[in-house]
Structure 1
């Protein structure tokens, strides 16, 4: 994969780049946020790995600006922040995954593989329709009643999983496997936070619920 690594700790950045290149990835390493933003806008990267605390522009600011500009690529945040509120903030800003420092390299590699993995269902068609929702798997856009709804990579993958299985109860374990992978350290908080953010985007505040929580089991899409 072609990766952009933004890490201002020179020792850690050098080590991470070396280990990623040993895994066969092509890595561009930058040391501060403004440069990360510029590289991401002009380069064609499969995945961005952003440290939360970067000079000149923080990783979360870089992510926010990129999503506002329509960047649809995968983003993995590296951070020492491990509170639930911080995880939700990162996901709310548009991060697709979250890795807390210090981390082990096998876990980093597993998360990168999971982010690079496409939906488990082969693309049999360019568009998936469920009720008044239309998902384009080529442009990775979601349309509801003529309105385009921007989605992060994780939100897109989750929405495609729901829309390809409307009315079916999807167990939490299945969602973890299909979206994150069993080899990734995914917590219930991250899954629930992603669903919560997706609901805010696709459901009307006063309208009926589309994504239903099935207590003790998982989730179901009803359109």
Structure 2
């Protein structure tokens, strides 16, 4: 899971980064509201930890702008204000949770885990379902009712990313940022190779799920209509 920390306090930002990374999260830290907006707009983050008091653009304004342009990434607001009115204002502005400073790091981790579970509403026992496939992110198995195939960790991450963005075209640059990170030397050819691997494995298990290439734009996951056509043909012969 990838987390964006937008925190004005440099020391706290470093502490949060260390704790989150120790718990196997991938973390990016920025220290002002303008950078927070720019990084959030990439859409590669699963959760945003957002300080209310920020230079350039304050946290509440950052949150409101993100929600206005339909960035739905879960947000935990971090604030020293403990009064009910401040919490209500934050939640009404689109925050998913509100944590009062100083807070327990154990409590923060628990809330991150809770939001992660909420974001994974398509999951049941680590299984993500789309079309006629089931993706088991724990065992790295991809299956239909008829067949099953093993995936590599990278293939699993890419397929999960595409499924979660169903209906949205994902540019190669976005995929690289999500799977390899901003500082990676991975290029477009890496994405093309893994897309090819996934297509072959989807075909191998006889799935009706396809990964469509939008030339110059990116990739999108879809289901074909062959099963609908088969049902129609069956009905016509009855």
TM range (shorter): 0.5 to 0.7
User: Larger relative CO (CA 8 A, sep 6+): 1 or 2?
Assistant: 1
Deviating 4+ runs (over 3 angstroms): 118-126
Distance 2:9 2:101 in 1: 12
Cα deviation, 1:54-89, whole Å, max 9, x if unaligned, reads 000011110000000110110000001111111111
Task: Report the Cα offset of residue 121 of structure 1.
Answer: 8.1
1:95 counterpart residue number? 95
Q: Secondary structure at the match of 2:85?
A: helix
Residue 24 to residue 91, structure 1, CA distance change in 2 (3 Å)? same
Structure number with larger C-alpha Rg:
2
Q: Secondary structure at the match of 1:5?
A: strand
Q: Secondary structure at the match of 1:56?
A: coil
Runs of 5+ consecutive residues of structure 1 not aligned to the other structure: 127-137, 141-223
Matched, 1:24 2:21: no
Residue 25 to residue 139, structure 1, CA distance change in 2 (3 Å)? closer
Q: Secondary structure at the match of 1:42?
A: coil
How large is the RMSD of aligned CA atoms in angstroms? 2.4
Q: Secondary structure at the match of 2:114?
A: helix
Q: Secondary structure at the match of 1:98?
A: strand
Q: Work out the number of aligned pairs and report it.
A: 131
Matched, 1:46 2:46: yes
Residue 40 to residue 121, structure 1, CA distance change in 2 (3 Å)? closer
Cα deviation, 1:86-140, whole Å, max 9, x if unaligned, reads 11110110000011000111000000000000349848899xxxxxxxxxxx779
Distance 1:125 1:39 in 2: 28
Q: Secondary structure at the match of 2:95?
A: coil
Q: Secondary structure at the match of 2:37?
A: helix
Distance 1:120 1:71 in 2: 19
Taking the TM superposition and a 5 Å limit, the aligned residue runs for 1:52-63 are: 52-63=52-63
Distance 1:78 1:47 in 2: 13
Matched, 1:68 2:58: no
Q: Secondary structure at the match of 1:16?
A: helix
With the length of structure 2 as denominator, give the TM-score of the two structures.
Answer: 0.51
Runs of 5+ consecutive residues of structure 2 not aligned to the other structure: 132-163, 167-238
- Contact (CA 8 Å) 2:122, 2:129: kept in 1 or not? no
Q: Secondary structure at the match of 1:27?
A: strand
Residue 65 to residue 107, structure 1, CA distance change in 2 (3 Å)? same
Taking the TM superposition and a 5 Å limit, the aligned residue runs for 1:86-125 are: 86-117=86-117, 118-119=120-121, 122=124
Residue 82 to residue 21, structure 1, CA distance change in 2 (3 Å)? same
Matched, 1:84 2:102: no
